[in-house]
Structure 1
Amino acid sequence: MVKSKDSILKDYQNNVAIQETQIKELHKTLNNISLSRLGLFIIEILLVSITIYFGYHWVTGLLMCLPVLCFMVIVKRQSAKENELNYAEKLLFVFQNEVNLIVTGKNKYKEGKHFEDEYHPYSSDLDIYGHSSLYAFINRSNTVNGMKLLADSLSKPGNPETIIERQEAIAELTRNIDRTFHFRAGLQNHKPEQLEIIAYKLEHQLPEQLKFTHKPLLKIYTAIAPFLSAGFILPGILYGGVYWEVLGLYALINVILNFAYRHEIGKIYMGFSRSASLLSAISGTVKWTEELKWESKYIQRFSAEIKSETPLSTQIKELSGIINAFDVRLNVLLMIMFNIFLLWDFRCSIRLDQWFIKSSNQLIRGLYTISQFEELISFATFNHNEPDFTFPVISDTFHFGAKELGHPLITENKRVVNTYSFNSLPTVDIVTGSNMAGKSTFLRTAGINMVLAFAGAPVCAKYMKVSIFEILTYMRIKDSLNDQTSTFKAELNRLKMILEGVTTLSYPLVLIDEMLRGTNSKDKYLGSKVFIQQMILKKTPTLFATHDLQLSEMIEKYAKEVRNYHFDIQLSEGEMNFDYKLKDGACKTFNAALLLKEIGLSFNPDESDSR
């Protein structure tokens, strides 16, 4: 059963309330743990004071160890609860973001501004990247590769087979949408580049950095160090005296050993610091991708690349455990104690080397697979949040047709839809109309929905069938002082790009909005006419929006190659009303005179110049 948008919003709001309650409870638990730690610290001070006052005895020595042991247990529990809290906060972010996006249209994920490119065939004109763009609306990726994959999928059309496979994958992930929220929460717990840093370290740095752990004597000594420490500490507690001196000498040797290898260990740790919680969260979120028996071929294909006897989630969890142990370095007191008596950094380095030999290659591939899931989940969330959108039919032959086609970035209560289709053979469709009537928006509506279709995503239409097109646009032309480019020169450069594309591309589609604005009206008309004739000659499907009614007269000579459409205005008691509906034929009503009158300029078009 397909949910309504209101029902989807309510689900998100309920999840927000659940997470807020859980976070409140976790804060309360952590406050209690902090009080327990303070209590143990006070008890330890009292025991030390008693020992100093009454003299050392093995009983007091043993009693002094108990608060320390209890403290370590509580610290471990505190760490677990802090991880729970961190995860709950990230999950809250995920749900709150969806609420904000539905209510206000604002998405807190990256908007893809660094992918903006004025020289791209269509991305700037169709608002694909940057502020208030399609990318900003869809993106739910938080890794560098995930964001790149999403940008790539919106930058060029896939082949029909891949598009259909992606549609199936997105639909399957939509059916498992609840699990994707947890997946996103796990990945939200890091900076975008952190996974790439880990992958780079695994692939390019660790092999060399871990070489010192291969020394046999170092391995043996590290393995027996805890037993030696226990063998010296227990007699020291029971008998004191010379045993403490022996223990001191043993500790000095370990200090020297740690100092000698401090640079090697520091290099290993660099890049992994504080990533244990991230890896732990990823392990949990990756697990469900392994448990599901995926039906879509697209997901099956990239999931198969990381399959092995040991699941990726298990291998990530093992690495997380090693890094978590390594993070003892973040607590100076524990770092000193653990390294003196347990050679802790050496033990972690040796464990990391063993893990690296067994699992590093699979994890490197797995980190990229995580980004592939992220990119698909962005579209799946978009699909889930827009229940009225539909997956288009991908045609093998020339075709474009849509019923109730609307712009996906315009809110539902303001969106006006139109039904429109190409002819059976390519034509130049000239769209005339007054200012603000909807010509530009219609061109962008057609283009942006094609971009969605070619990415395998649902489109803002009741029905849409489309073949593959390579879109070329001419809409927002800017001059550039830095490049010493005038508006007219920028227009010529864009036209040159389009003409080259029409000649070299296999399936070009051209969208033109008011051509040659930077020149006089006569040259503008002649240039537009010649351009349309060129599109007719090349048999290139073209949508051409213009104010110039003369261009609509080309249908008299090119009855089969040109079609006329228009957007008009309705005048009622001096007021202009726009219905933004596409209509057949050329426009008969324009609004420039009315608009000029509203700002204090009125004229009689029949009057001649009196000079």
Structure 2
Amino acid sequence: MTRGETPDPRHAYVEREAAHRVARDRSGWESRRLSTARVVTFLAAAGAWVLSDVLTGTPGGIAFGVALGLLIVFFALVSVHARVRRRRRVHEARRSLAEEGLLRLDRDWEGLDAILPEAERIREEVPADHPYAVDLDVCGRTSVVRLLGPVTSTRGRRVLRDWLLSPPRVEEARARREAAEELAPLLDLRMEVTVHGRLDAAPGPGGIERFLGWAAAGRDGVGTGLRWAAWVLPLSTLVLLLSTMNWGIPPFWVVPALAQLVLARRVGRRAASDFSAVALGSPALRAYVPQLRLLEGREWDAAALRRIGERLGAGDGAAHLALRRLSRLADMVESRRNMFYAVLAVALLADLHLAIRLDAWRGSWGARAVDWLDALGEWEALAALASPAHDHPEWTFPEWRTSGPPGVEARALGHPLLPPARCVGNEVTVGPPGTFLLVTGSNMSGKSTLLRALGANVILAGAGAPVCASYMALSPLRVRTCMRVEDSLAQGVSLFMAELLRVKQIVEAADAGEDGAPPVLYLLDEILHGTNTAERRVAARGVIRHLLGSGSVGAVSTHDLTLADAPDLERAAHAVHFRETVHETDGATRLTFDYTLRPGVATTRNALRLLEAVGLGGLELDGD
């Protein structure tokens, strides 16, 4: 089930990074020239204006005409300069995305973190008691989320996070896999959607949520009287004022003018909350409009992508057109900060006209706005799943098995967060129920990494992404891990107690499988090492026996080579091990590891060798 031949992803990123770097530099050069031209044109216009005043004493004549012409040229240059500067920002955003792609390929997490936009560097918070998020590096700087590619919207990041942190649903995973396969070769489209999401600074989650709350609230229903007043009062004031100025009639214009003043103040106070909500959403609207325009009207094969297209609409009902209208109204809301706006707010009842138009927009489109942005967030999350499919054509999409005994079977299984040059693939089989994978080996040989590789790939499969393997088949499983357990001084919990609480969660989850939930995939790394060896062995055997009887499947890593010596566990264990090679060079000890899985229980240990390797070989040890 590996995919066909695809273009070299590194070449694709290198080519785009170089092309957009050149285009960015060219736009920068144009920008500097235009900046100089603006200064020269403005100074020339000012000089011509002064010259006309010196020659004639009043503005006029040829010099004055030249000054006006130069001012027109100046404002034209301002407009052109703004477009060139934006074009430079676009090329820089595209170049940066290509560089990020190269950093992801190399697993340069520190370099990637340094160039990501601040909004995308936010550490996703996960509950401390989540059954696997911390152990499997789902979120954070070096994480599965970072591997999957850029997601600019808060809603998109939330969707992706939920897919990775929730139990798999096979039909949904298959639908997302189909979408990811279709999006994988569309690198330029995926990059362009991300570019527009980054160009305009999006508000924080509170800002966009407040805007969406306003949009979904429904129409206020501005009364007919106010709608008439919005036009009649300013017109009456103007007509009566002109009558007073031209024909000397009494100043009746004061009456509608005072009514306008009172009405403007009341409308300003009443609509302040609406204006604030729209203003908070304004930056996001500028990003969403071009993003949605790129996605609308496309013909998709994947059902998930077709559903997104249907939600975004087409023609006059297209989401981007409706949001563009609202974006223009949002620009008018922003203009209320101008000191001249206060005059318009009274003279033309500008706030009332704006409130009427916003209310009309909300009545027509507000209920759909939340769904549009949810659809965009879902598309971004699907595009993130497509990123490793493009970047790693040697990876595969997994095969789901909904019948037969539960378990996982994989070939060339590696850890997706390791640099490809250091990632060693192994053949791994977990299951059927009543058996467990027993992983032994010396320190630093790769036991913990194997368990994390297994867990990380299973959650990638559940999300609909490709996995770091040449082949993988699995059944629906709920992942549970016990790896990075820590004590807590604040809560008064020792290391051993923290491990017991984690193991209790795993046992309870395994027992819950009897209620129709998918079986548990347990990954236990050196469990219960917070107590003495004898009691640890007894307790660990008891936990494993219980899990074997629960219908769960899993893997256990240990240094204790006698853990599975009990006859029942020996029959249930599928033992594999890693080993090291010791090199003695000029009296120095050096250990190397090939990270290749071998059958059977480990036959070597290396703790004392490691003491020598770090320079502690001179210690007096028992048994010397």
* 2:466 maps to 1:453: no
* 2:155 maps to 1:145: yes
> How many Å separate the matches in 2 of 1:217 and 1:17?
56
Change (3 A) 1:372 1:14: same
* 2:332 maps to 1:319: no
CA contact (8 A) 2:38 2:77 kept: no
How far is the alpha carbon of 1:558 from its aligned partner?
4.5
> How many Å separate the matches in 1 of 2:290 and 2:78?
22
> How many Å separate the matches in 2 of 1:312 and 1:387?
34
Counterparts of 1:64-213 in structure 2, within 5 Å, are 84=87, 86-103=89-106, 104-105=108-109, 106-107=112-113, 108=116, 110=120, 113-188=123-198, 189=200, 190-193=202-205, 194-204=207-217, 207-208=219-220, 211=222
Change (3 A) 1:365 1:498: same
Choose which of 372, 379, 395 in structure 1 pairs with 2:378. Answer: 372
CA contact (8 A) 1:473 1:510 kept: yes
What are the ranges of 5 or more consecutive residues in structure 2 without an aligned counterpart?
A: none
Choose which of 592, 609, 622 in structure 2 pairs with 1:594. Answer: 609
CA contact (8 A) 1:19 1:91 kept: no
Give aligned pairs, total: 590
* 2:600 maps to 1:585: yes
> How many Å separate the matches in 1 of 2:82 and 2:100?
27
* Amino acid in structure 2 at the alignment position of 1:97: E
Change (3 A) 1:15 1:586: same
Change (3 A) 1:538 1:386: same
> How many Å separate the matches in 1 of 2:247 and 2:44?
30
Change (3 A) 1:274 1:575: closer
> How many Å separate the matches in 2 of 1:207 and 1:498?
50
How far is the alpha carbon of 1:23 from its aligned partner?
4.0
> How many Å separate the matches in 2 of 1:46 and 1:264?
49
Aligned to 1:502: 510
> How many Å separate the matches in 2 of 1:423 and 1:353?
60
* Amino acid in structure 2 at the alignment position of 1:272: V
How far is the alpha carbon of 1:553 from its aligned partner?
2.4
> How many Å separate the matches in 1 of 2:44 and 2:263?
32
How far is the alpha carbon of 1:535 from its aligned partner?
2.3
CA contact (8 A) 1:474 1:495 kept: yes
Choose which of 309, 328, 339 in structure 2 pairs with 1:332. Answer: 339
* 2:30 maps to 1:17: no
How far is the alpha carbon of 1:600 from its aligned partner?
3.5
CA contact (8 A) 1:429 1:563 kept: yes
CA contact (8 A) 1:406 1:415 kept: yes
Counterparts of 1:276-355 in structure 2, within 5 Å, are 276=282, 278-307=284-313, 310-333=317-340, 335=341, 339=345, 343-355=349-361
CA contact (8 A) 1:117 1:124 kept: no
> How many Å separate the matches in 2 of 1:500 and 1:379?
31
* Amino acid in structure 2 at the alignment position of 1:171: E
Secondary structure in 2 aligned to 1:430?
A: strand
Choose which of 8, 16, 19 in structure 2 pairs with 1:4. Answer: 8
> How many Å separate the matches in 1 of 2:76 and 2:233?
24
CA contact (8 A) 2:430 2:436 kept: no
Q: Deviations over 1:90-138 (max 9, x none)?
A: 4444334334434533242635634233311111111112231212332
> How many Å separate the matches in 1 of 2:257 and 2:91?
44
Aligned to 2:446: 438
> How many Å separate the matches in 2 of 1:219 and 1:40?
45
> How many Å separate the matches in 2 of 1:77 and 1:252?
41
Q: Normalising by the residue count of structure 1, what TM-score does the alignment of the two structures yield?
A: 0.84
* 2:579 maps to 1:562: no
> How many Å separate the matches in 1 of 2:18 and 2:607?
50
* Amino acid in structure 2 at the alignment position of 1:585: G
> How many Å separate the matches in 2 of 1:26 and 1:258?
46
Change (3 A) 1:118 1:69: same
> How many Å separate the matches in 2 of 1:17 and 1:250?
63
How far is the alpha carbon of 1:166 from its aligned partner?
0.4
> How many Å separate the matches in 2 of 1:501 and 1:415?
32
> How many Å separate the matches in 1 of 2:30 and 2:327?
23
> How many Å separate the matches in 1 of 2:345 and 2:45?
22
Aligned to 2:550: 538
> How many Å separate the matches in 2 of 1:536 and 1:469?
15
> How many Å separate the matches in 1 of 2:409 and 2:87?
50
How far is the alpha carbon of 1:560 from its aligned partner?
4.3
Secondary structure in 1 aligned to 2:184?
A: helix
Q: Deviations over 1:481-502 (max 9, x none)?
A: 1111011111111111111111
CA contact (8 A) 1:144 1:196 kept: no
Change (3 A) 1:261 1:64: farther
Q: Normalising by the residue count of structure 2, what TM-score does the alignment of the two structures yield?
A: 0.83
* Amino acid in structure 1 at the alignment position of 2:441: G
> How many Å separate the matches in 2 of 1:336 and 1:483?
57
Secondary structure in 2 aligned to 1:465?
A: strand
Tell me which moved more, 186-195 or 596-605.
596-605
CA contact (8 A) 2:131 2:481 kept: yes
CA contact (8 A) 1:142 1:187 kept: yes
Counterparts of 1:410-429 in structure 2, within 5 Å, are 410-429=418-437
Aligned to 2:470: 462
Aligned to 2:536: 524
Change (3 A) 1:466 1:66: same
Secondary structure in 2 aligned to 1:154?
A: helix
* 2:497 maps to 1:482: no
Secondary structure in 2 aligned to 1:551?
A: coil
Q: Deviations over 1:18-68 (max 9, x none)?
A: 552364156347626854884698489769979x9659x9xxx99999999
> How many Å separate the matches in 2 of 1:129 and 1:287?
31
CA contact (8 A) 1:15 1:95 kept: no
How far is the alpha carbon of 1:302 from its aligned partner?
3.9
> How many Å separate the matches in 2 of 1:158 and 1:174?
22
CA contact (8 A) 2:415 2:456 kept: yes
How far is the alpha carbon of 1:566 from its aligned partner?
0.8
Change (3 A) 1:90 1:340: farther
Aligned to 1:549: 561
* Amino acid in structure 2 at the alignment position of 1:195: I
Change (3 A) 1:185 1:302: same
What are the ranges of 5 or more consecutive residues in structure 1 without an aligned counterpart?
A: none
Q: Deviations over 1:440-465 (max 9, x none)?
A: 01110111011101100011111111
CA contact (8 A) 1:405 1:419 kept: yes
